[in-house]
A and B are shown apart, each in its own frame.
Chain A
């Protein structure tokens, strides 16, 4: 697949390019500053964009703003945002316009190469990839009045990270059937129809986060 990278730090940019090329994907273009991002994406129309939150000239959240802007101009453009630190506000802003094809990961995750490439692939295919830390921060906001049980929250958390049922079952050391049951309960409690499609899963996460 074709990837556009927006990252100002030369070393990291080089690392990302190396990583993506080594796994057989194509780096279509790189953007080194915030203002370059949207035009580059409009021109390249990549399968997925990897964007650093903090970019020059302001070194604030130029990358995030560009990601949101780009998704307005190119609906459902898969975007994987990398951040120096977890900021749930950023994730929430990014998810506000829909969670299809959205990823938000800590930069540190890049070094877990297989996982990072999985996340990139998932996002490119319209899934989500939220950093476990982002998810747990977002989930923590909801501790007080919570319709979900602890186990259901765990399942939802893993769903939010973008895992499929088999992976969730393996990670929680339960059967897939049990996972399926939990997901059904989650959908019911959040008032969503019980058909388990990828899109519903995303909706569930959003419904929970916004509840």
Chain B
């Protein structure tokens, strides 16, 4: 091994230390954030103890999660490890339930642990690195100026009195600093990144178990929704269409029997039967539309919803991106169903004078928002169809958010994933 390679090794070491220092400097930023986070946690804890905080807990923890997200990005950048956000969904259900989801989410507490650790340690580490670099640089210059100091001054931690000391001791100090920079600083940087990764990533098994639980639930929901739908269609056909047709047939049969003996009665029965057939046809259209709205096939979601909106008793303002791409049929059908149910609720229950529907596709998510200015106070019970909406949305692994304070109208917000 020649001199060249020794120099190369030295350069590589210095570069490594420099990189590690850079990492620690970046870490100092999130460490500062962690201190803010700790202060924020204290404030949130107090608001929660007062009760108010619990109502808006998911919103309150959002900035804290932003700090953790910054750290996740930093760690991912520095290491190449992909760290996804580990949080459980807390955007669904009553407010207290959402607060409970946040509080029982291990990720919440792991975030906090990370803040407590990374705040002080991150600042200490960057301080150490800066001090070491500074000490080394200064020590190397001591032989150049120590003699200019007044005799007896403490330079490089000792009292330098002669040249040999003035060369050897600072060099020893610089070497010690260099060793620390070469070893301790990269180690600190590594540990800091590991700490972030360890505390901020999703817990492997727990995350998977949670996901499996969610998928199992949504699959069961899908099957149930499917079965309920089939039952409904069977009912509609048997109890509606078939019963109707039988009663028509009875009238035709009676008309046939009385055709010669009582032509007037027979004519009345025939008219009844004809009216009955027309009713059956109307009913059949309703059933078919409920299975898969034909207009959805013809015009796509935007067209179908626009037709739906224009047919309402309550005026509806529709904001749909006109260029909505064709989505998977299940998503379109669910989106249409949600809108139709929500609007049916508006006209049946809300006493609203105006409603808005918005359908927007952002990324891989389709968001449907139906809002009215009615009486609010909508709940899942009482056959309002909200339970049906939830079921249908959950079946596609989507989320439903219903906000309906009494007196100020109802907002239903549904998000459906468009690709799987």
Question: Which residues in A have some Cβ–Cβ distance to B below 8 Å?
Answer: 9, 11-12, 14-16, 18-19, 22, 54, 59, 84-85, 107-108, 110-114
B243 in contact (CB, < 8 A):
yes
Q: Contacting A11 at CB < 8 Å: which of B244, B254, B258? A: B244
Inter-subunit contact A113/B246 (CB<8 Å): no
Question: Which residues in B have some Cβ–Cβ distance to A below 8 Å?
Answer: 235, 238-239, 242-244, 246-247, 249-254, 256-258, 276
Q: Contacting B247 at CB < 8 Å: which of A12, A59, A85, A114? A: A12
Are A111 and B238 CB-contacts (below 8 A) given A11-B276, A12-B246?
Answer: no
In the assembled complex, the Cα of A12 lies from the Cα of B241 at a distance in Å of 11
Inter-subunit contact B250/A18 (CB<8 Å): yes
The residues of A that contact B276 with a CB separation of less than 8 Å are: 11
Are A18 and B254 CB-contacts (below 8 A) given A59-B235, A84-B238, A108-B249?
Answer: yes
Are A16 and B242 CB-contacts (below 8 A) given A11-B276, A59-B235?
Answer: no
In the assembled complex, the Cα of A23 lies from the Cα of B243 at a distance in Å of 21
Report the minimum CB–CB distance from B233 to chain A (whole Å): 13
Report the minimum CB–CB distance from A132 to chain B (whole Å): 17
* Beyond A14-B247, A19-B250, A110-B249, 20 extra complex contacts between A and B, CB < 8 Å: A9-B239, A11-B276, A12-B243, A12-B250, A15-B250, A15-B251, A16-B250, A18-B251, A18-B254, A19-B253, A22-B257, A54-B238, A59-B235, A84-B238, A84-B239, A111-B250, A111-B253, A113-B254, A113-B257, A114-B257
Q: Which residue of the partner chain A has the closest CB to B240?
A: A9
Q: Which residue of the partner chain B has the closest CB to A52?
A: B243
Inter-subunit contact B243/A113 (CB<8 Å): no
Can you list 11 A-B pairs, Cβ within 8 angstroms, ordered by A? A18-B254, A84-B239, A85-B238, A107-B242, A108-B242, A110-B250, A111-B250, A111-B253, A113-B254, A113-B257, A114-B257
In the assembled complex, the Cα of A110 lies from the Cα of B238 at a distance in Å of 15
Most buried by B among A59, A110, A111, A113: A111
The residues of B that contact A108 with a CB separation of less than 8 Å are: 242, 246, 249
Report the minimum CB–CB distance from A8 to chain B (whole Å): 8
The residues of B that contact A107 with a CB separation of less than 8 Å are: 242-243, 246
Inter-subunit contact A112/B253 (CB<8 Å): yes
Inter-subunit contact A54/B239 (CB<8 Å): yes
Report the minimum CB–CB distance from A21 to chain B (whole Å): 10
Report the minimum CB–CB distance from A13 to chain B (whole Å): 9
Q: Contacting A111 at CB < 8 Å: which of B235, B239, B246, B258? A: B246
Q: Which residue of the partner chain A has the closest CB to B252?
A: A111
Chain A to chain B: the 9 pairs with minimum beta-carbon distance, closest first: A111-B249, A15-B250, A113-B253, A15-B247, A11-B247, A9-B243, A84-B238, A12-B243, A111-B253
Report the minimum CB–CB distance from A96 to chain B (whole Å): 25
Q: Which residue of the partner chain B has the closest CB to A22?
A: B254
In the assembled complex, the Cα of A45 lies from the Cα of B233 at a distance in Å of 37
Are A59 and B253 CB-contacts (below 8 A) given A11-B247, A12-B247, A108-B246?
Answer: no
In the assembled complex, the Cα of A48 lies from the Cα of B214 at a distance in Å of 55
Report the minimum CB–CB distance from A24 to chain B (whole Å): 12
The residues of B that contact A110 with a CB separation of less than 8 Å are: 246, 249-250
Report the minimum CB–CB distance from A194 to chain B (whole Å): 39
The residues of A that contact B239 with a CB separation of less than 8 Å are: 9, 54, 59, 84
Report the minimum CB–CB distance from A83 to chain B (whole Å): 10
Q: Which residue of the partner chain A has the closest CB to B279?
A: A11
The residues of B that contact A16 with a CB separation of less than 8 Å are: 250
The residues of A that contact B246 with a CB separation of less than 8 Å are: 12, 15, 107-108, 110-111
The residues of A that contact B254 with a CB separation of less than 8 Å are: 18-19, 22, 113
Report the minimum CB–CB distance from B266 to chain A (whole Å): 11
In the assembled complex, the Cα of A112 lies from the Cα of B257 at a distance in Å of 10
Most buried by B among A9, A54, A112, A114: A9
The residues of B that contact A11 with a CB separation of less than 8 Å are: 243-244, 247, 276
Q: Which residue of the partner chain A has the closest CB to B246?
A: A107
In the assembled complex, the Cα of A22 lies from the Cα of B255 at a distance in Å of 11
The residues of A that contact B242 with a CB separation of less than 8 Å are: 84, 107-108
The residues of A that contact B235 with a CB separation of less than 8 Å are: 59
In the assembled complex, the Cα of A112 lies from the Cα of B251 at a distance in Å of 10
Q: Which residue of the partner chain B has the closest CB to A17?
A: B250
Report the minimum CB–CB distance from B150 to chain A (whole Å): 104
In the assembled complex, the Cα of A15 lies from the Cα of B253 at a distance in Å of 11
In the assembled complex, the Cα of A134 lies from the Cα of B259 at a distance in Å of 32
